Amino acid sequence: MIHDLSLSVMPGQVVGILGSNGAGKTTLAHVISRALPITAGRIRFDGEDITRLPPHAVAARGIAHCMEGRRIFGSLSVEENLLVAARRADTAERKARLARVYALFPVLAERRNAPGTSMSGGQQQALAIGRALMAKPRLVILDEISLGLAPVMMDRLYAALAELKREGLSMLVVEQDIERALDLADVAHIINKGRITLSGPPAVLRADERLRHLYFGTEE
């Protein structure tokens, strides 16, 4: 559960949500995308109250959620998995979005006709991110994208996110890997037991001796 939690993501900003396993990070991501109900408080996006909207309506407004676990459709090819997220776009727009994703993740272009679940874990994570991008979102929520991946694959994924940041994409990055998230984020929030217990720019958080205690849940 999450409690008394308030944060914002400005246009073009990358916000990191950090914390140990079970701290409430994924719950927060699901609440924002409306995959979980909210019992109190408000969620606003571009000035609109989206608190009571269903997930598909939130997605239509420009919020894409790359969920933990990847959720690749095994019966579909890599390209079909990508096109699912752009089904409302016209043919020319779908081609343009595909070209952008393939430029960002060349391995997906190489494996476009292969079943989505036939690839390695890191390649499937690239596919999950690419699928979120196919919706041409204004905000992407990335939930634990580095979980279970080899460092070399994590480097590639975060290099792609850094490129998206340079292009001005707003991102909410939910992550256990402190250093990778802080390297990417403009501002970060540490969650402990469902509450934000420390916030600030990466340089400030790195210099704060409470960071390690909060991350491992030992701070009173």
The fold adopted by the segment(s) 1-62+137-220 is Rossmann fold (3.40.50)
- pTM assigned to the model: 0.91
Q: Which residue has the tokens 């073009």?
A: 12
pLDDT in tens, 153-212: 999 999 999 999 999 999 999 998 888 999 999 999 999 888 898 999 999 998 888 777
CB-based contact 187:199 (threshold 8 Å): yes
pLDDT in tens, 83-108: 999 988 999 999 999 999 999 999 99
Diameter of the chain by CA atoms?
Answer: 55
pLDDT in tens, 40-64: 899 999 999 999 999 999 999 999 9
Domain boundaries of the chain, sorted by first residue? 1-62+137-220, 72-136
pLDDT higher than 70, residue 214: no
pLDDT higher than 50, residue 219: no
Beta strand ranges found along 46-119 (DSSP E): 48-49, 63-66
d(CA 208, CA 203): 9
Q: Number of C-alpha atoms within 13 angstroms, CB side, residue 40?
A: 6
Q: What's residue 215's pLDDT? A: 60
d(CA 208, CA 205): 5
CB-based contact 108:127 (threshold 8 Å): yes
CB-based contact 55:33 (threshold 8 Å): yes
107, two tokens: 């391995």
Count of Cβ atoms closer than 10 Å to residue 195 Cβ: 16
> What amino acid occupies position 204?
V
